[in-house]
Amino acid sequence: MYISEELKSQGDILVYSMDLVKLYPKKYVDTRFYFYLLTWDNMRRIMRSLARGTNVLHLDLNLVKRVKLVEPPIGEQKRIAETLLFIDKVLESVDESVDRLERLKKALMRELLTGRIRVNEENGKLVFHRETEFQETEIGKIPKGWQVASLADVAEYINGYPFKPSDWSNSGLPIIRIQNLNDPSKPFNYYNGPLTPKHIEVLVDNGDLLFAWSASFGFYMWNRGRAILNQHIYKVNPKRSVINKLFLYYSGNYYLNLHVKTHTVGSTMRHIRKSTLNDIKLPLPPLEEQLGIAEVLSAVDRAIELYHEKKVRLERLKKGLMNLLLTGKIRVLE
């Protein structure tokens, strides 16, 4: 890590623990350049090869001291560091923008999904106003004209197929398991067998709504192509005359999160019983207002996704530049 002025400003004195080592340059160098050099992927691979230990890996510092480092002229060190620092500043700005949007989304969900702020369409535009008239219900105050419904009332929930490891294949339909919902980088197992009626009813495609009821709870909008559900995940078919699918995704997650601790059972692996869906209630606006709320929240999500995509591009750019600048394949000259 690099001790910047911003980090120093957090306290008059900074101390470090015994598993860290402070580096003292023996000659005049640009320390930020060497920070980038030592955190470069190629250098980290070298460091990992010098690690020792069984349970906890640690570096053999005597071996590390033998690692040879490049030494560009001091002026070029500074220019390389400035180039990479500029990208880091842009990445930091992207992270800050995402944080702001996440806070905005959280505030909007709190206000819109409880009806404290109403959203209606007027002349093709969404118009907001603060609600003043409420009614008392079993879940507290909600706007007049809204209803109360349980998660069981608004949709049909079809449990995934109980695939066994012997059903897995190297090709075919991807099997969606809990880990594939939590981490998109997790590899799929595949099913290449015959499709029975039980299989067909849990086939999913882009835009389908899923509900994880074990270990990791919540609604998920699926967008990774045709696949088939494993057990512990419901395929959710919203009742279209009652609820909008995207509204159920946002409102369901919001109210599930409020009540998840009191509605889960199990010791080693927590889960939600299907019967419990009757107990988790949410306020239900008219369908037109559901559409407006879903449109607002999905717009914020799209903005967040665009920033995530920008961050991925910047990280690729930084990685590529490090490979070129730190090997001298591209020079940064005055």
Question: What's the pLDDT at 267?
Answer: 61
Q: 112 with 297: CB under 8 angstroms?
A: yes
pLDDT digits (tens), the chain, 334 positions: 898 888 888 777 888 898 898 999 999 999 999 999 999 999 999 998 988 888 888 888 888 889 999 999 999 999 999 999 999 999 999 999 999 999 999 999 999 999 999 998 888 888 999 999 999 999 999 999 999 999 999 999 999 999 999 999 999 999 999 999 988 888 999 999 999 999 999 999 999 999 998 877 899 999 999 999 999 999 999 999 999 999 999 999 999 888 776 777 766 667 888 888 888 999 999 999 999 999 999 999 999 999 999 999 999 999 999 999 999 999 988 7
In the block, residue with structure tokens 């580096």: 23
Please state the pTM of the whole predicted model: 0.86
Superfamily of the domain at 147-284: DNA methylase specificity domains (3.90.220.20)
**pLDDT tens digits, one per residue of 138-193:** 999 999 999 999 999 999 999 999 999 999 999 999 999 999 998 888 899 999 99
Burial 2-13 (b: 16+ CB within 10 A, else e): eeeeeeeeeeee
Q: Which two tokens stand for residue 195?
A: 């499709």
Identify each DSSP E strand in the chain by its residue range.
51-52, 58-59, 117-122, 125-130, 134-137, 140-143, 147-150, 155-159, 168-169, 173-176, 189-191, 203-204, 209-212, 218-221, 227-229, 233-238, 281-284
Local structure of residue 334 (DSSP, 8 states): -
Q: What is the rounded distance in angstroms from the CA atom of residue 205 to the CA atom of residue 188?
A: 15
Ramachandran class of 272: left when φ > 0, alpha when ψ lies in -120 to 50, beta otherwise: beta
Give residue limits of the domains in the chain. 5-100, 147-284
**pLDDT tens digits, one per residue of 299-330:** 999 999 999 999 999 999 999 999 999 999 99
CA torsion, ordered 293, 296, 297, 299, to nearest 10 deg: 150
Instruction: Say which residues have a Cβ less than 8 Å from residue 71's Cβ, sequence separation at least 6.
Output: 29
